[in-house]
């Protein structure tokens, strides 16, 4: 197969995504992928950061505010891009909430958020947390494709966007 046309690239993307998909396969790998896919949800992070702000020291309060701003700005850029591109999510049953509230897949907001958080943790957070987030972020990105709510190119674009957003926000903060 030549990669001469846009359609060829999209077909290759679809085929590679199908190879890593575990959403329809019962077992431990599916459960782990589902957990990782959900762990990047914005509501989860906003709730956790809200608790950190409420109960944390001055350092953690400032860190929580920076990350909430990062999440909001990244979400706005992701949603604007999704509305411009309008790529439909892959077919599937898992992630019905995502499919109903946001039918567009490009770029992956979860991947963008995860990598933006990891970059900010390198600059603003303690080293141990940065290390944890740098292990976690690629797992979230892959889990989104494995659970069938994104194509691999969606998560790759989300990763790149998250890196850029994190670097820009780190300079701002």
Euclidean distance between CA atoms 114 and 65, whole angstroms? 16
Residue tagged active-site, from 107, 150, 159, 169: 150
- Token duo for residue 98: 């995502």
Residue tagged active-site, from 99, 110, 113, 144: 110
Torsion 66-144-155-122 (CA) sign: positive
**104: annotated active-site residue:** no
Euclidean distance between CA atoms 62 and 42, whole angstroms? 19
Euclidean distance between CA atoms 8 and 6, whole angstroms? 5
Catalytic residue ranges = 110, 150
């Amino acid at each position: 197969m030549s990669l001469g046309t846009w359609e060829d690239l999209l077909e290759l993307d679809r085929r590679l995504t199908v190879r890593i998909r575990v959403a329809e396969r019962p077992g431990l790998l599916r459960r782990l992928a589902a957990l990782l896919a959900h762990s990047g949800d914005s509501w989860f992070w906003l709730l956790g950061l809200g608790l950190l702000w409420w109960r944390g020291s001055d350092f953690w309060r400032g860190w929580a505010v920076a990350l909430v701003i990062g999440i909001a700005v990244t979400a706005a850029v992701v949603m604007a891009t999704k509305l411009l591109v309008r790529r439909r999510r892959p077919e599937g049953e898992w992630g019905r909430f995502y499919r109903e509230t946001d039918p567009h897949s490009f770029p992956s907001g979860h991947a963008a958020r995860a990598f933006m958080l990891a970059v900010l943790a390198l600059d603003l957070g303690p080293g141990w947390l940065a290390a944890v987030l740098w292990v976690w972020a690629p797992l979230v990105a892959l889990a989104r494709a494995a659970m069938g709510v994104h194509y691999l190119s969606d998560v790759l674009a989300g990763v790149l966007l998250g890196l850029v957003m994190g670097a820009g926000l780190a300079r701002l903060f």
